[in-house]
Amino acid sequence: MMSMTNSALVKAESQPAPAQLRLWAARTAGVVIDGGRSSDDAISEVSFTNSCSGRDQALVKEMAMGVIRWYWTLEEILQRLLKTRIRNKDRDIFFLLMIGVYQLKFMRIPAHAAVDATVQACEPAAKPWAKRLVNGVLRNYARHSTDIDRQLTSDAARFAHPDWIRARVVAAWPQQWKLILDANNARAPMCLRVNVGRIGRHDYLAELQKAGIGAVIDPHVATGLIVHKPVAVESLPGFFKGWASVQDTAAQLVVPALNLQPGHRVLDACASPGGKTAHMLESQPELSEIIAVDIDGERVKRLRQTLDRLQLTAQCIAADVTQVDAWWDGAPFDRVLIDAPCSGSGVIRRHPDIKHNRQPADVDALCEVQARLLESLWPLVAPGGSLMYVTCSVFAEENQEQICAFLDRHSEAIVESLTMQAGVDCGVGRQTLPGIHDMDGFFFSMLKRISD
């Protein structure tokens, strides 16, 4: 047998042990579930990405996001396995148990390896006393998982959603609610938007195939490809030349529906991170001007970075877009896009932390923000021009109910028909749903100003 070279031996020794990966995953899940942070913030706070290979990073993220996604199911399983409640000061052990159960229930890791690595994670957690507990609980579940899973009775455990989200989805979509909840618990596909002004979609598909990245044409949008297996953006051909961007199919439906024409002046409100701003510039390079506004300076930096990578230019402004006098020059817009802050209930499959970090009161507050955006920006639309209102929500109060209330206040506004075929007709707009055509849940409504 050949011995390892010195460099290979050093590299192997520098990789974290499987136990450490489980502990990082448990801590990441805990920061989201107990700390109320986003997944991205939790990954940054736990700070494991610089300490392990890309493959190990993917494993940590899979385990952490799995626990975040399936928390209510895993919690009820543990309630049936634990004889006494774990103390608050030992929540790290509770999350390690969740990581263990998640591996046994949802991953292809051999049971003995999953149990052993999770038990050993009690050492770097500085709680060796918990090894016996973790070992006993996980081995018990491995032996009796079928019977235990059959005993799960609560709707929260069965559908892995908090009761209030499930109830609102059922109320809004009584025929499709289970399809939506099931889709929320699935992994979202990686969708690409090809900059067809730089490279044809079929040509880019060929470039992906040359790079060993499998993908297919997205039948719902003229710019879309769907990657078989998600990859790092750095590995996408021509990514830093602006050939392609990562963007869900539903989000790619927005810009074609705007029907942009040469010479149009456009406002993109709430514009960061810039995907739709860039798509507008790619699809209609002869716009007279596009102004992209976002309230947060750091988000505007991200917006500019998006445009720089794609070699595109827009006037980017950091401002509260509803404070019109602070940034508007008085010239009306032919098109206004409001990609409104919302609950995110249509993108839970991409951001399962939403299940933990959103509360019912948040939706009420967001509805007020949405109404204020509509009222503030409607006067900026030129007669004959249009405003498109978009959310990534499936809740009726943020979508069709919001638009109906606006129409009641504004007789000079009418709803335009949308050219898109995807989604469900809501009377005043269209709604794509998770679980149908494998898209995120987006609402679209196009309002035309018929008089001054």
Q: 241-275: per-residue pLDDT in tens?
A: 999 999 999 999 999 999 999 999 999 999 999 99
**Average pLDDT value for the chain:** 93
Catalytic site includes residue 367: no
Give Cβ neighbours of residue 301 (< 8 Å, ≥ 6 apart): none
d(CA 96, CA 86): 12
- Is 427 within 8 Å of 388 (Cβ atoms)? no
- Is 114 within 8 Å of 104 (Cβ atoms)? yes
- Of the candidates 275, 210, 197, the one whose C-alpha atom is nearest the C-alpha of residue 241 is 197
pLDDT digits (tens, 9 = 90+) for 52-67: 998 999 999 999 999 9
- Of the candidates 39, 38, 136, the one whose C-alpha atom is nearest the C-alpha of residue 82 is 136
Domains of the chain: 14-160 (1.10.940.10), 190-246 (3.30.70.1170), 249-449 (3.40.50.150)
Tell me what the mean pLDDT of segment 374-382 comes to: 97
At residue 431, does pLDDT exceed 80? yes
pLDDT digits (tens, 9 = 90+) for 305-343: 999 999 999 999 999 999 999 999 999 999 999 999 999
- Of the candidates 437, 427, 406, the one whose C-alpha atom is nearest the C-alpha of residue 340 is 406
Question: 30 pLDDT band (50/70/90 cuts)?
Answer: very high
Question: 10 pLDDT band (50/70/90 cuts)?
Answer: very low
- Of the candidates 144, 192, 151, 25, the one whose C-alpha atom is nearest the C-alpha of residue 95 is 25
77: amino acid identity, one letter:
I
d(CA 396, CA 175): 14
pLDDT attached to residue 9: 34
pLDDT attached to residue 362: 96
Sign of the alpha-carbon torsion through 79, 83, 88, 92: negative
Question: 452 pLDDT band (50/70/90 cuts)?
Answer: low
At CB < 8 A and 24+ separation, what contacts does 403-409 make? Answer: 403/428, 403/429, 403/445, 403/447, 404/428, 405/371, 406/371, 406/374, 406/375, 406/378, 406/447, 407/447, 409/375
Distances (CA, A) of 43 to 38, 60, 153, 276: 9, 10, 32, 26
d(CA 335, CA 267): 6
| Structural tokens at position 421 | 């075929």
pLDDT attached to residue 269: 95
At residue 367, does pLDDT exceed 50? yes
DSSP 8-state symbol, 311: T
pTM check: above 0.85: yes
What is the DSSP track for 27-48?
HHHHHHHTT---HHHHHHHHT-
pLDDT digits (tens, 9 = 90+) for 352-361: 999 999 999 9
- Of the candidates 381, 385, 384, 449, the one whose C-alpha atom is nearest the C-alpha of residue 412 is 449
pLDDT attached to residue 54: 86
Catalytic annotation, pick one of 52, 122, 191, 392: 392
At residue 4, does pLDDT exceed 50? no
Percent of the chain with pLDDT over 70: 97
Give Cβ neighbours of residue 246 (< 8 Å, ≥ 6 apart): 190, 191, 192, 193, 233
pLDDT digits (tens, 9 = 90+) for 161-211: 999 999 999 999 999 999 999 999 999 999 999 999 999 999 999 999 999
Q: How many CA atoms lie within 13 A of 14 on its CB side?
A: 10
Distances (CA, A) of 7 to 4, 10, 52, 194, 260: 8, 5, 16, 40, 57
pLDDT attached to residue 6: 41
| Structural tokens at position 258 | 């705007």
pLDDT attached to residue 132: 96
- Of the candidates 61, 73, 67, the one whose C-alpha atom is nearest the C-alpha of residue 33 is 67
d(CA 272, CA 321): 12
DSSP 8-state symbol, 84: S
At residue 287, does pLDDT exceed 90? yes
pLDDT attached to residue 7: 39
158: amino acid identity, one letter:
R
- Of the candidates 54, 61, 73, 12, the one whose C-alpha atom is nearest the C-alpha of residue 32 is 61
381/49: higher pLDDT: 381
Cis bond leading into 273, ω under 30°? Answer: yes
pLDDT digits (tens, 9 = 90+) for 66-112: 999 999 999 999 999 998 999 999 999 999 999 999 999 999 999 99
- Is 360 within 8 Å of 164 (Cβ atoms)? yes
Question: 420 pLDDT band (50/70/90 cuts)?
Answer: confident
